[in-house]
Amino acid sequence: MSLFITFEGIEGSGKTTQAKRLQDWLVSQGHECVFTMEPGGTRISEKIRDILLDNKNKEMSRFTELFLYLADRAQDVEGVIKPALLANKIVIADRYADSTFAYQGKGRGILERSIKTMNSLATQGIVPNLTILIDITPEVGFKRISHRDRMEVEIEDFYRSVRSKYLEIAHKNPDRVKVIDGMLSIDEIEKGVRELVAPLLQNYS
């Protein structure tokens, strides 16, 4: 049996920290575990990541951004996620489809119905067994990653709406999406993550 776990949350919420800790723990328990991140994860995805994260590409249309994230995902699913799941491995993804609904959908105002259709192509219908949403305010997340005191109001508003969409997704998908308070310590969050994952491992051989 395969297992697909994704981490979601705004910048600085602690996704990468917790995804890596979970991977280390699962490997120490003898599980075969594959880590992947969005954007990135494959040779082609790394090139797409460079375009997306290049500060020079400020004029990028929100639709170009959407298509690039979906292209990145399509390649990651085909090249990494699907083969690992077919080989009965555990896959941990640092961001996946919920990011698109939160950032490009709510954040950039692209119609959810359109994203849904295109995302199902990109993911080939592969949905995580468990999504861990680490919830945090934009202020705290921003301070953790930038070491600056204040963020611009516009940016803060953007992350507020992204955060609210994440919480809405969690509310609508209570079986799949579990919310952890990102204000807890790294160790406390790790404990919470393990408590969510442990029951899934019992069915997992």
Ligand X SMILES: Nc1ncnc2c1ncn2[C@@H]1O[C@H](COP(=O)(O)OP(=O)(O)O)[C@@H](O)[C@H]1O
Please select the residue that binds ligand X; options are 28, 61, 185, 203, rule is CB under 6 A.
Answer: 185
Cβ pair 186, 13 in contact under 8 A: no
Element of type H or E holding 26: helix 15-28
- Check binding of 112 to ligand X (CB under 6 A): no
Phi, psi of 178 (to 5 degrees): -115, 135
Q: Is 10 helix (H, G, I), strand (E, B) or coil?
A: coil
Smaller CB separation from Mg ion, 55 or 202? 55
Q: What residue 11 binds from Mg ion, ligand X, none (CB within 5 to 8 A, per partner kind)?
A: ligand X
- Check binding of 163 to ligand X (CB under 6 A): no
- Check binding of 27 to ligand X (CB under 6 A): no
Listed in order, strand segments (DSSP E) in 52-144 are 90-94, 130-135
Give every CB contact of residue 115 below 8 A, 6+ residues apart in sequence.
66, 100, 101, 104, 105
- Check binding of 60 to ligand X (CB under 6 A): no
Beta bridge partner(s), residue 36: 93
Size of the site for ligand X (CB under 6 A): 15
**What's the start-to-end Cα distance of the chain, in Å?**
7
- Check binding of 161 to ligand X (CB under 6 A): no
Cβ pair 77, 123 in contact under 8 A: yes
Q: What is the side-by-side strand order in the sheet with 33-37?
A: 33-37, 90-94, 3-8, 130-135, 177-181
- Check binding of 16 to Mg ion (CB under 5 A): yes
Q: Is 35 helix (H, G, I), strand (E, B) or coil?
A: strand
- Check binding of 40 to ligand X (CB under 6 A): no
Closest approach, Cβ 196 to Mg ion, in A, equals 19
Residues 127-156 that bind ligand X (CB under 6 A): 144-145
Smaller CB separation from ligand X, 82 or 160? 160
- Check binding of 180 to ligand X (CB under 6 A): no
By beta carbon distance, the residue nearest Mg ion is 16
Closest approach, Cβ 117 to ligand X, in A, equals 28
The region of 9-17, 23-31, 105-113, 117-125 touching ligand X under the rule CB under 6 A is 9-17
Listed in order, strand segments (DSSP E) in the chain are 3-8, 33-37, 90-94, 130-135, 177-181
- Check binding of 186 to ligand X (CB under 6 A): yes
Residue numbers of the site for ligand X (CB under 6 A)?
A: 9, 11-17, 144-145, 182, 184-186, 189
